Amino acid sequence: MDLAGREAETFVIGIDANAKPLEKPSVRITRKPAKGGLPNAMFIQAAVEDLPSELASVADSVTVNLPWGSLLRAVLLPDSEVLRGIRRLLKPGGELEVVTAI
């Protein structure tokens, strides 16, 4: 949400396999912009291995921010199925950034 707030011309998609952390931010982004809404952001509840086909090749860049559990293992070990799911999001020449606390 920080990126969407700083860069109004950038469309930001947040993805999490767990719906719970998406509940509050999903409500917030639908508010009027004067009340903190972000019309350039959306959230999707999905596992990275099972992303909707509509997201194929939509991203100039993907940031995996503080992964944990199976996603953390997948990016550190690496797991080709998970990495293929992430790569599917990227346009040709797109960039992947992984931010960990390790």
pLDDT per residue rounded down to tens, the chain (102 residues): 899 999 999 999 999 999 999 999 999 999 999 999 999 999 999 999 899 999 999 999 999 998 988 899 999 999 999 999 999 999 999 999 999 987
**Cα 101 from Cα 60, distance rounded (Å):** 24
Our CA angle for 2, 42, 85, nearest 5°, is: 100
pTM of the model: 0.86
| Among candidate residues 21, 18, 19, 7, the one with its CA nearest the CA of residue 70 | 18
